Structure formats: structure tokens, C-alpha cells
Amino acid sequence: MLARTLLSIVTASAVALSPAAAGPALLFDAGDGKVLYAEDQDHQWHPASLTKIMTALLVFEAIREGKVTLETKIGCSELAHSQPPSKVGLPVGAEMTVEVALQALILKSANDVAVMLAEAVAGTHEAFVARMNATAQRLGMTRTVFANANGLPAPEQVTTARDLAKLTQAVLRDHSGYANMWAMVEMRVGKRRLRSHNALLNNYDGADGIKTGFICDSGFNIVASASRDGRRLVAVVLGEVTGRERSTRAANLLEHGFQAHGWKSMFGMESLDNLPVAADAKGVVSIRHAVVSWACGTGRRKVLARTKRKRPQAVAAKAGAAGPQKPDHGSPAVKTKAGVEAPQGQDKGAAAAKAKAKPKGEKTSATAP
């Protein structure tokens, strides 16, 4: 009877956690690194703004070593100012404290602030990137290469679900004093209100961090953590085609973990370090063609396709008899998942229109709502 019950749970979990064409994913216990679920965990992927987890880690280490403090003011250089959105948008020479910069880095996923912090900690952005790669090797992130501090598109910038799990475990374990930053849902910078892109913080029981990421080539990525009954689990999800699917898959993984942790522990679980490296681990690929995003030039095509499916000939004939009608722009759910961040105060429709106006191939936000 027990075996039959466990088989039912395993089968249901496999169906729920392995949608068609899903990207790499990994679920682990933040306390001991035990792996509860892994799929293509060693396939390389573009991290997008999950890169900023490493950027934050190095800033936390610099604070611990006394090189900077949370009150230290850092300036906006020409290089920082030139970074594309998502960004705070400070003018050259403007300053903010390290504390505010860290909050903007994590919550807003500000690309300009990532460069500001990098220059403050290492002197130059290039020196900071070298430190990122050295730290990755120290943490055992053997299939990771960093090329910048913010995750903006770079062909050589790659990682894996396993490597991101190792990085996240180190951040949560060694710098637990900053847990509140990963859990923030909004903040203010001057008169601007900035909101987190991590939807689980508002709609998943126990969610407490940590970071989202998006570029067209990577799709929608997330590292999400949640705690229940003294146990903290972390889900790494890479390559979902919409922000909604990213959140749904992460929530499903976490729920699977909380439900199955007890019986899985009866059979023993492998850890992040001793889980065998997949013999068929692949190099990085682009999923730009599959992503549903105005920023990638794919939002309109998907919306039109859905609109045509939903409008049978009878409806079209009725509309023609009634005279000219306003065009149907498709499902709001699709449009609001565009891979571009609206300036605070700008509505989502305006953000989608702005994304539509961008030329194809233009570099866009490293994170998405």
C-alpha cells in the first residue's frame, strides 16, 4: 500500500514538474544542499539578472571585510549611466549609499547600479568581473563564466541550474543578515516607488526571496525560496517562455518539495556536490523564438495568433454588420508579461507600446516583471 501511494505521488509529480519544452530546473534544501528534484541541471544557460546574486555576494563580502559599509556613498560613472534598462537612471556624478544600491540591485534589478557597486568594490568593472569568476570557481561553479556584473546579453556569460543553486546556498548561508533585502516587495528611491518582479512574494505561502532574470535568449528565469515549519527550500527555474509560467513552475517545484521532503528523505537524497554530472550536459542555446515578449519582437505574433483562434467567422460577420470596430489587441495577460520594465508610474500598456517600438535585436532589460 505504501509503495502504491509513493508511486502515485512520484507519477503525479513527474507530470506536474516536467512540462513540454521546459528549461533546466533544480529544487534543493537550503540547509543541507540535498536535491529534491533535478532536470537538465548541468545544461548551460544564460543567467540574465540572476547574475546579480553573485554581484550582491561580492558586495556582502566587501562589507564584511571592511572595504565598504552600508553607509558608504558610491557614484554613478559614465559606464554605469550608459547601461540599458532596467535601471534607476541616475545622472553621471549622482550618488547613493551602498545599502540603497543593494536594495535597487536586488528588487529593481538595476543594471546601472550593478556597475556602480562593481566599481566601488573592485575599482573597475573589469576587475570586479574577474573577481566574480574567481569566486565562482571557489564555490565549485564549474560550468559558469561571467562577462559582466548585471547579466545583460553576452554570448560567453553562462551558468547552470546546479551552479546557481551553489551560489544561492552560499549567499543564504554566509550572509543571512541580508535576508530582508531578498524578501522586499517594494522600495522608494526619491519619489519613485520600485516593485519586485518576484510574483511569488505576494502569492505563495512562505515565499521569502530571492531573484528573477530575463533576456530574450534565456527566457524567464528565477531563483525562488520559501520557508515552512523551519525548512527552507529553493527552486531554480530557467528558460520559461512567460513570466507567469516562470512563477507557476517555481511554485509547483516548491510545493512538491514541501509535500515530498519527508518520504524522499527515507530513501536518501544526493546533494548539490555529489549529484552526478550529467553525461549529456549541453552548451548554451537561445530560446528567443519561443519567448512571448514584446521586447523580443514576439509579443505581437503570439497575441495575434490567439486573437484569430478566439474569433470564429460568425463573430467576424456580426462585427462587420455592426460597422467598424476597435481592433482586438488580445489577452491582457499576454501583454502584461512583456519583457520590458515600465518606468514607475507608467502603465503596462504604455510599457508594451514602448517595447513594440524598439528595433529588433536591441538589447533590453535583464529582468522582466
Q: Are residues 337 and 195 in the same domain?
A: no
| Phi, psi values for residue 222, rounded to 5° | -160, 145
Residue 8 inside a domain? The answer is: no
Residue 328 inside a domain? The answer is: yes
If 0-12 CB within 10 Å is exposed, 13-18 middle and 19+ buried, where does residue 227 land? middle
Q: Are residues 260 and 315 in the same domain?
A: no
Angstrom distance (rounded) from CA 285 to CA 141: 19
The reported pLDDT for the residue numbered 25 is: 98
For 301, the domain range is 294-357
Going by DSSP bridges, is the β-strand pair 186-189/231-240 parallel, antiparallel, or unpaired? unpaired
The reported pLDDT for the residue numbered 190 is: 78
Q: Are residues 259 and 302 in the same domain?
A: no
Residue 362 inside a domain? The answer is: no
Q: Are residues 79 and 30 in the same domain?
A: yes
Angstrom distance (rounded) from CA 41 to CA 31: 19
Q: Are residues 61 and 118 in the same domain?
A: yes
Residue 110 inside a domain? The answer is: yes
Q: Are residues 28 and 89 in the same domain?
A: yes
The reported pLDDT for the residue numbered 203 is: 95
Number of other CB atoms surrounding residue 97 within 10 Å: 15
Residue 277 inside a domain? The answer is: no
The reported pLDDT for the residue numbered 312 is: 47
| Phi, psi values for residue 66, rounded to 5° | 80, 10
Q: Are residues 337 and 201 in the same domain?
A: no
Residue 272 inside a domain? The answer is: no
- Please give the single-letter amino acid code of residue 281: A
The reported pLDDT for the residue numbered 194 is: 84
Q: Are residues 216 and 298 in the same domain?
A: no
Split into its structural domains, the chain has a count of 2
Which amino acids are annotated catalytic?
Answer: 49, 52, 109
Nearest to 269 by CA among 285, 257, 281, 286: 257
The reported pLDDT for the residue numbered 268 is: 84
Q: Are residues 150 and 238 in the same domain?
A: yes
The 10 Å CB-count burial string (b at 16+, else e) for 259-268 is: ebbeebeeee
Number of other CB atoms surrounding residue 355 within 10 Å: 24
The tens place of each residue's pLDDT in the chain, 369 residues long, gives 334 333 334 433 443 454 555 799 999 999 999 999 999 999 999 999 999 999 999 999 999 999 999 999 999 999 999 999 999 999 999 999 999 999 999 999 999 999 999 999 999 999 999 999 999 999 999 999 999 999 999 999 999 999 999 999 999 999 999 999 999 999 888 778 888 999 999 999 999 999 999 999 999 999 999 999 999 999 999 999 999 999 999 999 999 999 999 888 888 899 999 999 988 999 999 999 999 999 999 875 554 455 445 544 444 444 444 444 443 433 333 333 333 333 344 444 434 433 333 433 334 444 444
Q: Are residues 35 and 163 in the same domain?
A: yes
Angstrom distance (rounded) from CA 134 to CA 128: 10
3-state secondary structure 135-189: HHHHCCCCCCECCCCCCCCCCCCEECHHHHHHHHHHHHHHCHHHHHHHCCCEEEE
Q: Which long-range contacts (CB under 8 A, 24 or more apart) does 184-189 make?
A: 184/103, 184/106, 184/107, 185/107, 186/107, 187/103, 187/104, 187/107, 187/108, 189/88, 189/96, 189/100, 189/104, 189/108
Report helix, strand or coil for 25.
strand
Residue 2 inside a domain? The answer is: no
Q: Considering 266, 285, 303, which residue would you say is the last residue of a domain? A: 266
HSE of 47, CA atoms in CB hemisphere, 13 A: 32
Q: Are residues 56 and 163 in the same domain?
A: yes
Task: Return the CATH number at 102.
Answer: 3.40.710.10
Residue 275 inside a domain? The answer is: no
The reported pLDDT for the residue numbered 334 is: 32
| pTM score over 0.75 | yes
Q: Are residues 221 and 325 in the same domain?
A: no
